[in-house]
Structure 1
Amino acid sequence: MPLAQARTAPRYRHPGGSTAFGTNLAYRLGKLKELGLLEGVWLDCGCADGGYTEALVASGADKAIGVDPEQSRIDEASARRQAALERGDRRAQRTEYYCCTDNFPLPAASVDAALMNEVLEHVADEAATLREIHRVLRPGGRLVVISPNRWFPFEGHGMRVMGRDFGFPIPLLPWLPYRLATKVMSARNYWPHELRDTVAAAGFQIEKVDYVLPVFELYQWMPAFAISAYRRLMPIIERSPLRRFGVSTMIVARRPA
């Protein structure tokens, strides 16, 4: 059983929640596999409790290094790694975890690829984080950034108004004028060209701009038959202009050789 499949999926999720389980995880990593990227040494930047770090190794990466600024998350990931080692799962030997912010404990040009899955919108300094990833990537290495798409008509992270948090998807919030939306948004939200330009400004060459559709893994308010029908249509939507309304934008970029 792949490490990531051993994780317990939560009963309820929304677009701003974790994607490190089940169909959502397989769908997102499937995009990377189709591009032939799941090999070599990966950096999972903002790894949380290690769901994608584990899955990268299970999906073909030679090694995956998870970094996150919250010690409690790193402790949870490390504990699960230790449990896997005790079970004799050799793949756990190919994962590492470090608690850090923008100064990664890694040599320059030491990783082949880096993943920022729903992370860039949360960091304190986008430019500083991207520069640090640029430093540890080998020349020619790839960066994959997946962050909220403002064309998606819901803000999955909720909003904060007058000191009160509303932690559920807020309809049409991303479509408000930026100066109004940012006053209440709990996390950044990017138009696709904004995300592309942010990555390019850090010295990366953009190779691909793609979109990530919502998978509706455990949508509390959607009936099962509707989710099943939607998933059957996903390959068609992926080839249509409707893909631009995906929940997230995916940027694939390269550190110039």
Structure 2
Amino acid sequence: MAQGYRSQLDGLRAIATSENSLSRARTAPRYPHPGGSTAIGSNLAYRLGKLRDLGLLQGVWLDCGCAEGGYTEALGAWGAQKAIGVDPERSRIDEAIARKLVNDKKLNRRPDAIEYHCCTDDFPLPDASVDAVLLNEVLEHVANEAATLREIWRVLRPGGHLVVMSPNRWFPFEGHGMRFAGRNFGFPIPLLPWLPSSWSARVMAARNYWPHELRNVVATAGFEIEKVDYVLPVFELYQWLPASV
């Protein structure tokens, strides 16, 4: 589900999206493991194509929860004048920086076109310094949704956009796996999202939003909904699932 949010105060906009449509695609050459990076194959191209079609791939982008920088690099390649990646895991940022240095040389790219920072709560960026923020399957993992959205609000320029891509609870599989009896099960769990929240929250590895819940979370932070849409058929990621599902 994709949702657009615009600030009710100063024109900040956000577009939140979910990858959970029940159609099936077989075009991606490689597929992520459950809970892994989606920055591979046609998955990445499909998601960035959504942003391109909305005319958003320009200006300065912040990739919040960038992991190894797959989407950060792609944002620059697809039209952003600058892309900044932030992530709390030092090892992932180190890998992203190593990739950046290789690509800077290979592409004869400006060294400041892509940058990375390891941080948790506060972004090392000035107020009103970015045109758009990407939260790609990140909001469901953060410790404090409201605090994360407040920090995003701080760095967004007036008229900027927040794009949220997050699981849709209407989809019958939990793609992050589950925790049970002290063990992690890293494969899609059928029907787990449809259990009552009081039950599923005990075992789910990440949050999973009903559409109205995601709207409320972002709108409460002051953003106005601008667009709601679906992003990627999740069955593309798990090719071993029966085609009749």
Cα deviation, 1:131-169, whole Å, max 9, x if unaligned, reads 000000001100000111000100000000111111100
- The ranges of structure 1 where at least 4 consecutive aligned residues each deviate by more than 6 angstroms after the TM superposition are none
Aligned residues: 218
Deviation of the 1:35 alpha carbon: 0.7
2: CA distance between counterparts of 1:97 and 1:176? 38
- Post-superposition Cα deviations, 1:86-133, rounded to whole Å, max 9, x if no partner, equal 334316641000000120000000000000000000001100000000
| Structure 1: distance between partners of 2:68 and 2:207 | 22
> Aligned letter for 1:199?
V
CA–CA separation in structure 2 for the residues paired with 1:207 and 1:48:
27
Which gives a bigger RCO, structure 1 or 2 (Cα 8 Å, sep 6+)? 2
5 Å-filtered alignment, 1:60-71, equals: 60-71=79-90
Aligned to 2:21: none
Alignment of 1:123-134 (within 5 A): 123-134=142-153
Gaps of 5+ in 1: 1-8, 228-257
What residue number does 1:103 align with?
A: 122
Where do 1:52-201 residues align within 5 Å? 52-90=71-109, 93-201=112-220
Query: 1-side partners of 2:83 and 2:71: how far apart?
Result: 9
SS of residue in 2 equivalent to 1:142: strand
Summarize the Cα distance change of 1:215–1:156 in structure 2 as closer, same or farther, 3 Å threshold: closer
Selected match of 1:33 from 52, 55, 58: 52
1:44-76 CA distance string (max 9 Å, x none): 000000000000011111100000000000000
CA shift for structure 1 position 13: 2.8
Which amino acid letter does the alignment assign opposite residue 188 of structure 1? R
| Identical pairs, percent | 77
Tell me the C-alpha RMSD between the 2 structures: 2.1
What is the DSSP-based 3-state SS (H/G/I as helix, E as strand, rest coil) of the residue aligned with 2:140?
A: helix
Aligned-residue offset at 1:222: 4.9
Unaligned runs of 5+ in 2: 1-27
Q: For residue 15 of structure 1, report the CA deviation from its aligned partner.
A: 5.2
Whole-angstrom CA distance in 2 between matches of 1:142 and 1:63: 15
The normalised TM-score by structure 1 is 0.80
Question: Does structure 1 retain, via aligned residues, the 8 Å contact 2:43–2:232?
Answer: no
The answer (yes or no) to whether the contact 1:116–1:144 under 8 Å persists in 2 is: yes
The superposition leaves residues 213-249 of structure 1 with CA deviations (integer Å, 9 ceiling, x where unpaired) of 32545534158xx69xxxxxxxxxxxxxxxxxxxxxx
TM-score (norm 2): 0.83
